[in-house]
Amino acid sequence: MQMWILMYVFSYSVSPVATNDKAEWRVLPTVVFQEFSSEERCRTAKFTLEGSLKEAGAKLRSGLEDLKSIGKADPAQIIIAYNVECLPK
């Protein structure tokens, strides 16, 4: 029986302008692996996770736009990236 691995990589970077730390942009990645007994179960989890990440990203951007309108933040000060893949083990 072939197993499947859901690989989830999420990273974000915050502009030094947005913090007190004036160092370079920092990439802060998270990598998660989860094993599934079938490709179908893996793809279902992938679809659900991608939907959640898109929704979370939209909420974050909206909040940053609200802060931008009062001069406190800018969506350009954060970079969010993610990738979700189902891979045979």
What tens digit of pLDDT does each residue of 11-67 get?
877 777 766 666 666 777 889 999 999 999 999 999 999 999 888 878 877 877 777
Structure tokens at 15: 């502009």
List, in sequence order, every residue forming a beta bridge with 85; answer none if it has no partner: 7
Winning range, highest mean pLDDT, from 3-12, 14-23, 76-85: 3-12
Helical H runs in the chain?
A: 39-69
How confident is the model at residue 15, as a pLDDT? Answer: 74
- Residue type (1 letter), 44: T
* pLDDT of 75 strictly over 80: no
Structure tokens at 83: 């990738």
How confident is the model at residue 19, as a pLDDT? Answer: 67
How confident is the model at residue 18, as a pLDDT? Answer: 66
